[in-house]
């Protein structure tokens, strides 16, 4: 019977090596996984190197009476699959199953087609001898570099359970923040659409009929009515051309912004707009502090954590400032002093950060700052949405009042001229 040498990692993080006799490599993998070990290497003595934790996936699946789904198209995988996959994987890993066996089971049992296909793709890479982090890295549209590095750190230290839990918490908070942002904007968007619809109805449906009525009565119309009728006529004639021109301008701006230079200029311009700047900076501070805290808590070095965090910030102008912060920290400056030179963080945040650096509690300090930034961002969003809603309602009611005034004054003036 062939003899296989192996190396594996126990749940406590300690490494274990040895030899086993088994009919095939997959039997060695099964024996080791049954003992609660994470298989790192299985090699037949005097033979070719074997595969790791998920060795011979097709054979294992056929033995179980199941089959993997058809080869998936990587283009089907998006970042929306990341959190559901990590949640499903974490549940199995926390139950005591190894990461490789958990991925294999997900590839068999998940009902959602894309999640199951993603698990099958990862399982296939595990069967080729890749680690879980290396398999995740092959799907950058789903798993960003931060996630891959954290999973790699968890595999190296044996703390994969804790890493998965923190990643899930991080992405869940990001999802909740996005949902809160969209929910906050829903009401003002509805008010804007409603007001715009009322204006269009009055201009394009009511005004032509009113103009026909006034023309039939004769007489000179007051200035407000002439202004309203002229504006309606202008929009009826030139409105479609203006709409097409506006759509083309927006499309050109959108294409320009997708270019590297256009995105840099656009992001820099956002930081010069008074109200928008506060939102951009507050969101960047929240993303920066929360992501950096997650990375530091999971054992990523400060320099690498800063490099990863700066890429997580969407605004390129802020990203350039954070890149300078990383360079200064690598040169020996403190994080609080480097951030103070950018002007991105308020003084109170910098004081908290400095205290955290001095006491060795940098990650908790970053989490406190992230919590404060999230509350501040929520407050600004609510205030802005109330302001937008109130402004749209005021403008709509003002236009309706002006329309009523123009109609009533026209009717009075025409009726007076008829009596005379």
Query: Which CATH number goes with the domain that contains 62?
Result: 1.20.81.30
Position 214 confidence tier, pLDDT thresholds 50, 70, 90: low
Least Cα distance to 353 among 272, 391, 296 occurs for 296
213 vs 66 pLDDT, higher one: 213
pTM assigned to the model: 0.62
Q: What is the pLDDT of residue 72?
A: 52
Could you tell me if 311 and 356 lie in one domain?
yes
The answer to whether residues 142 and 77 touch, using CB atoms and an 8 Å cutoff, is yes
Quick one: what percent of the chain has pLDDT higher than 90?
Answer: 2
Q: What is the pLDDT of residue 248?
A: 94
* pLDDT mean over 385-407: 81
Close Cβ partners of 212 (under 8 Å, ≥ 6 residues apart):
none
How many separate domains does the chain show? Answer: 4
Could you tell me if 120 and 147 lie in one domain?
yes
DSSP class per residue in 215-275: HHH-SPPPHHHHHHHHHHHHHHHHHHHHHHHHHHHHHHHHHHHTSHHHHHHHHHHHTTSHH
What's the CA dihedral at 337, 341, 344, 346 to 10 degrees? 60
Domain of 207, in residue numbers: 180-243+385-419
Q: What is the pLDDT of residue 63?
A: 40
pLDDT digits (tens, 9 = 90+) for 11-69: 555 677 888 777 776 677 667 766 766 666 777 776 544 444 333 343 434 344 444 45
Position 115 confidence tier, pLDDT thresholds 50, 70, 90: confident
Domain boundary pick from 166, 194, 219? 166
Identify whether 395 is part of a domain: yes
Domain boundary pick from 166, 200, 232? 166
Is 417 a residue whose pLDDT tops 70? no
Q: What is the pLDDT of residue 74?
A: 54
Could you tell me if 210 and 273 lie in one domain?
no
pLDDT digits (tens, 9 = 90+) for 252-311: 988 988 888 888 888 888 888 887 888 888 888 888 888 888 778 777 778 888 887 887
Could you tell me if 198 and 116 lie in one domain?
no
Identify whether 353 is part of a domain: yes
């Amino acid at each position: 019977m062939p003899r296989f040498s192996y190396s594996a990692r126990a749940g406590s993080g300690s490494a274990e090596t040895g030899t086993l006799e088994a009919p095939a490599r997959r039997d060695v993998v099964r024996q080791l996984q049954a003992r609660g070990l994470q298989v790192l290497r299985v090699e037949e003595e005097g033979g070719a190197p074997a595969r790791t934790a998920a060795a011979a996936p097709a054979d294992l699946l056929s033995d179980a009476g199941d089959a993997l789904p058809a080869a998936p198209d990587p283009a089907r995988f998006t970042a929306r699959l990341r959190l559901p996959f990590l949640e499903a994987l974490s549940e199995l890993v926390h139950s005591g199953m190894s990461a490789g066996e958990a991925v294999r089971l997900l590839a068999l049992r998940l009902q959602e087609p894309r999640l199951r296909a993603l698990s099958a793709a990862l399982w296939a890479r595990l069967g080729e001898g890749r680690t879980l982090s290396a398999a995740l890295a092959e799907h950058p549209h789903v798993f960003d570099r931060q996630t891959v590095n954290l999973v790699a750190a968890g595999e190296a230290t044996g703390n994969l359970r804790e890493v998965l839990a923190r990643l899930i918490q991080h992405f869940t908070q990001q999802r909740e923040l996005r949902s809160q942002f969209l929910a906050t904007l829903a009401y003002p968007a509805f008010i804007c659409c409603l007001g715009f619809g009322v204006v269009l109805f009055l201009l394009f449906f009511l005004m032509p009929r009113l103009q026909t009525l006034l023309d039939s009565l004769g007489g000179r119309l007051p200035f407000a009515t002439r202004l309203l009728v002229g504006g309606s006529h202008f929009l009826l004639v030139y409105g479609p051309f203006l709409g097409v021109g506006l759509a083309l301008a927006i499309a050109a701006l959108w294409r320009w912004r997708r270019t590297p230079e256009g995105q840099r200029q656009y992001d820099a311009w956002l930081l010069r707009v008074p109200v928008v700047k506060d939102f951009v900076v507050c969101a960047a501070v929240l993303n920066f502090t929360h992501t950096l805290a997650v990375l530091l808590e999971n054992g990523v070095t400060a320099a690498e954590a800063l490099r990863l965090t700066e890429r997580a910030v969407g605004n390129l102008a802020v990203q350039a400032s954070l890149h300078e912060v990383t360079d200064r920290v690598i040169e020996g400056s403190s994080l609080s002093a480097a951030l103070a030179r950018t002007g991105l963080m308020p003084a109170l945040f910098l004081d908290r950060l400095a205290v955290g650096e001095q006491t060795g509690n940098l990650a908790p300090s970053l989490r406190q700052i992230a919590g404060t930034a999230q509350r501040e961002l929520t407050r600004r969003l609510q205030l802005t949405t109330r302001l937008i809603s109130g402004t749209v309602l005021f403008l709509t009611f003002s236009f309706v009042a002006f329309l009523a005034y123009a109609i009533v004054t026209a009717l009075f003036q025409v009726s007076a001229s008829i009596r005379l």
